[in-house]
Amino acid sequence: MEFALQSKTTNCKNCYKCIRHCPIKSISFASNKATIIQDNCILCGRCYLVCPQEVKVIRNDTDIVKNLIKSNEKVYVSLAPSFISYFSYTSMDELVNALTKLGFYKVEETAIGATIVKKAYDEMLEEKDRDVIISSCCHSINLLIQKHYPEARKYLANVLSPMLAHGKDIKSREPNAKVVFIGPCIAKKDEASLNSDYVDAALTFKELDEWLKNENITLKEVSYDWKKEESKARLFPITGGILRTMECKNEEYQYLAVDGVENSKRVIEDVLNGKIHKCFIEMSSCEGSCINGPVSNKEKSVISSYIDINKSAGKLDFKEGKLTYKDITKNYYSIGAKEATPSEEEIEAKLIEMGKKEKEKILNCGSCGYDTCREKAIAIIQGKAALEMCLPYLMEKAESFSDNIVSNSPNGILVLDEELNIQSLNKTMCKIINIEKPSFVIHKNVSSILDPHDFYSALCGEMVFRRKSYLSEYDKYIENTIVYDEKFHVLLAILKDITEEEVSRQKHEEIVKKSLEITDKVVEKNMRAVQEIASLLGETTAETKVALSSLKDTIKDDR
Strands (E), 333-460: 412-417, 422-425
Is residue 339 domain-resident? no
CA distance 168 to 113: 9
- Give per-residue pLDDT as tens, 503-556: 888 888 888 788 777 767 766 666 666 566 656 665 555 665 666 666 566 656
Domains of the chain: total: 5
Instruction: Give strand pairing partners of 281.
Output: 134, 256
For residue 270, the one-letter residue type is: D
Cα–Cα nearest to 331, from 160, 95, 200, 471: 160
For range 229-249, the mean pLDDT: 95
Q: pLDDT digit string (tens) for 289-309?
A: 999 999 999 889 999 999 999
In a domain, 336, yes or no: no
- 484 in Cβ contact with 493 (< 8 Å): no
| Residue 413 bridge partners (DSSP) | 494
Q: 158 and 22, same structural domain?
A: no
- Average pLDDT score over the chain: 89
Write out the residue range of the structural domain in which residue 485 sits: 410-497
- How many angstroms from the chain centroid is the CA of residue 59? 21
pLDDT of residue 508: 83
* DSSP for 220-278, written as a single string: ---------SB-GGGGTTSTTHHHHHS----TTSEEEEEESHHHHHHHHHHHHTT---S
The answer to whether 142 touches 136, Cβ cutoff 8 Å, is yes
The pLDDT value recorded for residue 394 is 62
Q: What is the per-residue pLDDT for 551?
A: 58
Contact 186, 294 (CB under 8 A): yes
Query: Is residue 462 in some structural domain?
Result: yes
147 inside domain: yes
Residues 179 and 312 reside in one and the same domain: yes
Are both 55 and 67 inside the same structural domain?
A: no
Give the pLDDT confidence score for residue 536 in this predicted structure. Answer: 63
**Helices and strands: H and E segment counts in the chain:** 21, 16
Do 110 and 36 lie in a common domain? no
Pairwise CA distance, residues 136 & 537, whole Å: 125
Mapped onto helix, strand or coil, the DSSP state of residue 408 is coil
In a domain, 285, yes or no: yes
Whether residues 475 and 373 fall in one domain: no
Measured between alpha carbons, how far apart are the two ends of the chain, in Å? 84
pLDDT one-digit tens code per residue, 173-214:
999 999 999 999 999 999 999 999 999 999 999 999 999 999
Higher pLDDT, 80 or 506: 80
Helix, strand, or coil (residue 130)? coil
CATH of the domain at 465: 3.30.450.20
pLDDT digits (tens, 9 = 90+) for 93-110: 999 999 999 999 999 999
SS3 418: coil
Helix/strand/coil percentages in the chain, nearest 5? 45, 15, 40
User: Is 337 a member of any domain?
Assistant: no
pLDDT band at 72 (very low <50, low <70, confident <90, very high): confident
In the predicted structure, residue 34 carries a pLDDT above the cut 90 = no
DSSP 503-552: HHHHHHHHHHHHHHHHHHHHHHHTHHHHHHHHHHTT--HHHHHHHHHHHH
pLDDT score recorded for residue 309:
95
Question: Do both 385 and 414 map to the same domain?
Answer: no
Q: Which residues pair with 314 in a beta bridge?
A: none
Judged by average pLDDT, the poorest of 274-288, 357-371, 374-388, 413-427 is 357-371
40: CATH: 3.30.70.20
User: Which CA distances in Å does 97 have to 7, 52, 109, 440?
Assistant: 35, 36, 15, 82
pLDDT, average across residues 490-500: 91
In which band, very low, low, confident or very high, does the pLDDT at 122 lie, cut at 50, 70 and 90?
very high
- pTM for the whole thing? 0.72
Q: Which of 408, 431, 451 is the last residue of a domain?
A: 408
Residue 224 lies in a domain: yes
Q: Do 401 and 442 belong to one domain?
A: no
| Residue 238: C-alpha distances to residues 85, 242, 246, 289 (Å) | 11, 8, 14, 5
Q: Is 364 in the same domain as 395?
A: yes
pLDDT in tens, 423-461: 989 899 999 999 998 899 999 999 999 999 999 999 999
Which of 328, 355, 370 is where one domain is finished? 328
Do 6 and 123 lie in a common domain? no
- Do 260 and 122 sit in the same domain of this protein? yes
Q: What is the pLDDT averaged over residues 226-254?
A: 94
Whether residues 431 and 551 share a domain: the answer is no
pLDDT of residue 514: 82
- Picking from 453, 468, 497, the residue at the C-terminal end of a domain is 497
User: Are 198 and 191 contacting, i.e. CB atoms less than 8 angstroms apart?
Assistant: no
Q: Residue 399's pLDDT band (boundaries 50, 70, 90)?
A: low
Other C-beta atoms closer than 10 Å to the C-beta of 81 total: 26
Q: What is the pLDDT of residue 553?
A: 66
The answer to the question of residue 230 being in a domain is: yes
Please state, in angstroms and rounded to a whole number, the distance separating the CA atoms of residues 536 and 339. 109
Judgement on whether residues 271 and 355 belong to the same structural domain of the protein: no
